[in-house]
Structure 1
């Protein structure tokens, strides 16, 4: 797997949590270890991009702020597509 920036990993987490998902599901969809996921969760919850819903399922959801970040990221990707260097 290629090197991923912190921004790319953050986007993968927010996309996986969009609509609600468990910690395990997000971890697998974003290809992260549990230790990495904990680090990113702390950052995303503190800055208000991700929220935790305690309860029976313990769900994480992307907030409105997180959705705005995803929208801006996708707009930037359209303008400046990533170049694959082999």
Structure 2
């Protein structure tokens, strides 16, 4: 697997949690170890991009997280994979 930036990993987590997902599902969809996932969850929750719903034991992407995904995808359309050329 190629090197992934923190931004790319963040986007994978937010996409996996969109609509609600368990920790395990997010871990597998974003190709992260449990230790890595815990680190990212802390950062994402502190910044209001991800929320945990205790009653249903699921993580969900917040409105702020969805805005980040939208902006990231717009940037990807404008500048598609500029790093793969080098």
Structure with greater proportional helix content: 2
Separation in 2, partners of 1:58, 1:31: 21
1:71 positional shift: 0.1
TM-score using structure 2 length: 0.92
CA-based RMSD of the aligned residues comes to 0.8
Runs of 5+ consecutive residues of structure 2 not aligned to the other structure: none
1:15 positional shift: 0.1
1:57 positional shift: 3.6
Runs of 5+ consecutive residues of structure 1 not aligned to the other structure: none
TM-score using structure 1 length: 0.92
Classify the secondary structure of the residue corresponding to 2:59. Answer: strand
Cα deviation per residue 1:5-56 (whole Å; 9 max; x = unaligned)?
0000000000000000000000000000000000000000000000000xx5
